[in-house]
Chains A and B, each alone.
Chain A
Amino acid sequence: MIDDNDILLRVRHLKKHFPVKGGLLRRQVASVKAVDDVSFDLPTHETLGLVGESGCGKSTLGRAILRLHEPTSGQVWLDGIEVTAADKTRLKALRRDMQIIFQDPYASLSPRRTILETLLEPLQIHGIGSKAEQRKKVEDLLEVVGLRKAVLNRYPHEFSGGQRQRVGIARALTLNPKFIVADEAVSALDVSVQSQVLNLIADLQDEFGISFLFISHDLSVVQHISHNVGVMYLGKLVETASAKDIYADPKHPYTRALMSAVPVPDPKTKSRRIMLSGDVPSPMNPPSGCPFHTRCPEAMPHCSQQIPAATNVGSTASPHWVSCHLHGDEQTPTGPATKPPNAAD
């Protein structure tokens, strides 16, 4: 069992609802439940992969954890400090420890700034080191991400997609964070470049012991890079387990369908696909009971009435959480919560 002290990031009952305004007075008429009661633990030096289809709330979850979106409710602890309770000053200090890598390196780098200016900014904002030290730090970072020093005075448009993503990674590393959210960090890259960047991320984890929340729609990429994998559907985590278990023995019907839909790059294995009918329902008006019951090939009558609780179908040492009426029942209605961390007591 993982010791509580090894948990770097703890998320409990995190919710992010976006108001939908309408009518003459722009009053709130509904809300989009982008993230709806998500709980998980991320140990130090590990990667949690987060998969799901577009609109399932995976990016919103990443941003709500960093408080780039202010969560509606729920708690997040980073290294024992409650992120969700931090005031402005405290949050700024916390941001040193938690960073993000965005999907589109074209959009996330300022076209008017040189690479040097972009990479210096975090150090200047947090007032770290003298000018010479800052410059040294930036040069070191470039080496870490595999770029030459000569690029410092160039602008983003002079780089290829892969190089730009390396700059994005370098920027996330400037403040020596403990935790990085990688939001579709390799999705915009070609296969040959994607593998280079994936290896870089794995190297960084080994070298600096960073924990990653790796968000991607690509299941093979996630399985490759993650220790644990969480599957999201309509704002909820429906299954969480070690990468090995979840791919070898997916429990949730949605996970199974998702896995079987991935095209396998081997013409000899004609995969047997589990076809899901229809589309993902709108998160504004999610189905009652289990959110997946409208598309589930194994739905039972009570699936549309009761929300399934998260159940551990694995062992204590290697937990495998699944929220489905097919597996176990009503244990903890709170998700994979063991006990609240000491820091919060």
Chain B
Amino acid sequence: MAALLSVEDLCVEFRTDKGVARAIDGVSLEVNAGETLGLVGESGSGKSVTSLAIMGLIPSPPGRIVSGDIRFNGQSLPGLSQGAYRKLRGREIAMIFQEPMTALNPVFTVGSQICDVLRRHMGLSRKAARKRAIELLDEVGIPAPDKRVDEYPHQLSGGMRQRVVIAMALSCDPKLLIADEPTTALDVTIQAQVLDLIAKLAKDHGTATILITHDLGVVAEVCDRASVMYCGRIVETGDVGDIFDRPEHPYTRGLIQSIPRIRDDKLGRLPTIPGIVPDLLDLPDGCRYRDRCPQALERCGNFDPRLEQHGNTLAACFNPNSEAAK
């Protein structure tokens, strides 16, 4: 069975004053129905650009999809007209953004914003839409939904707002949900509530989910598979268990080791990744991680590693951890 969403060798460029920056360079990924894929990476690694490309929301100019394909349900997305894309967005593919205050319109009540989606995509009547909106608010755990439905975003707390955004995203029962840092702006106790909610709803509705985050803890808790991005490329992909247990790419391992953990006993020094992420306008030749990599070989400077099977995961590395250990 073909995957619900498959991204093949996607490249996106942005024109800037200083030159052309290739924000993502040859990204491939697949998501199946009912599955949650975690897209992890540090700022500037291209995870948000990947999601915007899937949604057809790359601002153009300055950005454009240079090459590659995005296939959703057997249909190629990049060539779609704006009108066709608009029918897809919200109905088939929905998105949850990081900051719920900017995702909601401050001058309309939350109810009217949810009703808009329902009436446009599902063709519901005004009355039916309002009834459904209240049900949705109830489903995402908002107390007194029949009152909240008439409130404005500023009257709700951050966690409540994010629930409204989730209710909106799920209102048309989408096949694919993209959540871009959905809990980063929330407090940890609220984050736990929202993550559980997304996981539960995805399971209940069989929705395929892409969860974009910089927090490996979040990935470990909710995702089935994970892809790690670095400098516009996916450097490792695999089941979450394997990624955390036996990461093959030195970057993945570096990331996992550099998270401070609760229940470490000693006040020791954290393992770190030396150096900083290279500038997208001035990338090194060969492997982009080479300058920071503890196990770089000579050929890492000359050739570009591609994603290949190493151990239990796919990693783009000439000297993956299982090899280096020998």
B192 to chain A: closest residue by CB = A261
A273 to chain B: closest residue by CB = B192
* A266:B188 contact, CB within 8 angstroms: no
* A275:B244 contact, CB within 8 angstroms: no
| Interface: A87 (CB within 8 A) | no
Determine, out of B5-13, B53-61, B262-270, B310-318, the stretch whose residues face the partner at the interface: B262-270
* A224:B221 contact, CB within 8 angstroms: no
Interface SS of A by simple majority = helix
For A162, A192, A198, A271, which residue has the most chain B Cβ atoms within 10 angstroms? A192
* A53:B189 contact, CB within 8 angstroms: yes
* B192:A162 contact, CB within 8 angstroms: no
Contact with A along B151-169 (1 / 0, CB 8 A): 0000001011000000000
Contacts of A244 in B (CB 8 A): 265
| Interface: A262 (CB within 8 A) | yes
Q: Given A53-B188, A217-B188, verify A265-B220 contact (CB < 8 Å).
A: yes
Q: Given A195-B272, A195-B273, verify A261-B220 contact (CB < 8 Å).
A: no
* B220:A264 contact, CB within 8 angstroms: yes
B188 to chain A: closest residue by CB = A261
How many chain B residues touch A (CB < 8 A): the figure is 47
* A271:B221 contact, CB within 8 angstroms: yes
Contacts of B276 in A (CB 8 A): 160, 162-163, 193
Point out the residue from A190, A225, A275 that lies within 8 Å of B192, measured CB to CB: A275
How many chain A residues touch B (CB < 8 A): the figure is 48
What's the A-B contact tally at a CB cutoff of 8 Å?
131
Contacts of B264 in A (CB 8 A): 223-224
| Interface: B260 (CB within 8 A) | yes
Q: Given A190-B42, A190-B214, A224-B270, verify A263-B262 contact (CB < 8 Å).
A: no
B243 to chain A: closest residue by CB = A267
- CB A257 to nearest CB in B, in angstroms, measures 6
Point out the residue from B160, B244, B261 that lies within 8 Å of A224, measured CB to CB: B261
Which residues of chain B from 244 to 258 have a CB within 8 Å of any chain A CB?
Answer: 244-245, 254-256, 258
B222 to chain A: closest residue by CB = A263
| Interface: B217 (CB within 8 A) | yes
Q: Given A258-B189, A262-B188, verify A195-B244 contact (CB < 8 Å).
A: no
| Interface: A2 (CB within 8 A) | no
Contacts of A259 in B (CB 8 A): 262
| Interface: B215 (CB within 8 A) | yes
In the bound assembly, the distance between CA atoms of A190 and B241 in angstroms comes to: 23
Point out the residue from A54, A190, A217, A219 that lies within 8 Å of B262, measured CB to CB: A219
* A248:B263 contact, CB within 8 angstroms: yes
Contact with A along B165-188 (1 / 0, CB 8 A): 000000000000000000000011
- CB B304 to nearest CB in A, in angstroms, measures 22
Q: Given A192-B255, A262-B217, A263-B218, verify A257-B189 contact (CB < 8 Å).
A: yes
The 3 A-B residue pairs with the shortest CB-CB distance in the complex, in nearest-first order: A263-B217, A224-B260, A195-B258
Residues of B within 8 A of A (CB): 42-43, 143, 157, 159-160, 187-193, 195-196, 214-221, 240-241, 244-245, 254-256, 258-265, 267, 269-274, 276-277
Known: A191-B258, A261-B188, A265-B256; 19 extra A-B contacts, CB below 8 A, are A53-B187, A191-B42, A191-B255, A192-B273, A195-B272, A195-B273, A196-B274, A199-B270, A224-B264, A224-B270, A243-B267, A261-B191, A261-B192, A262-B217, A263-B221, A265-B220, A268-B245, A276-B189, A278-B143
